[in-house]
Chains A and B, each alone.
Chain A
Amino acid sequence: MIDFIRDYGLILILFIIPVIFALQPLFLPRIEKMHIQLDVAELKRKKLLIYRQIKELEMEYDIGNINENDFISGRATLKKEVSEVIAALKSL
């Protein structure tokens, strides 16, 4: 009898808690602000990735994997991209 209560009681608790945890957000007021927080993080990440790409481009040029013209145009494109991202971040 005690086993029965223990097992099924345990199951009940282990069931109820996840359900409550999962349903909790539904009772909050509708959230819009999240978007902005998330967009900032996304843009920051994008900026980091573009900087890395610029560094790698410089390395490829040093080794000789890209010719001069491609290097200059490639770097210009990336720098333009990064300045767009920085501008977008500033506006938020």
Chain B
Amino acid sequence: MNSNKKFFLMITGIIGMVIFWISWVSMNPADEKAMTTFVSVDELINDNINRRSKLGGLVKDGSIAISKTNYLDCTFVLKEGNAELNVKYGRTRPDLFKDGVEVIVTGEYLNGVFYADELQTKCASRYEGDLRNESSYNLNEIDS
């Protein structure tokens, strides 16, 4: 075999290995936290999805309740459109977490309550559209 053919075969072999490796990892993630399905609140409740899921929505105004016995524990209601879901979360709450804020929760759904172990709020805004996180973009006249 001349060197060109050897070279070509080697490249093909490597590409083959790469495709195999990437496909294999994609189909067999070692960690259950590697890939999570994003579902809507409606789907979660109607289909009673038990596997690990991710949901997005807004924190319903006034729904945040912090446990009196353990400051880290809290419950709130996640609102997506008209659908609502009770969420329980037991870790350090992000600074931006408050009424009306857009959040993404990850965890499991059991007996009507969503047990979240991850809670993310959208990043401090830098570009248009995210200003809803900084409270509505509202230029108030301030008495001078």
Asked if the two chains touch in their complex, CB atoms less than 8 Å apart, one says no
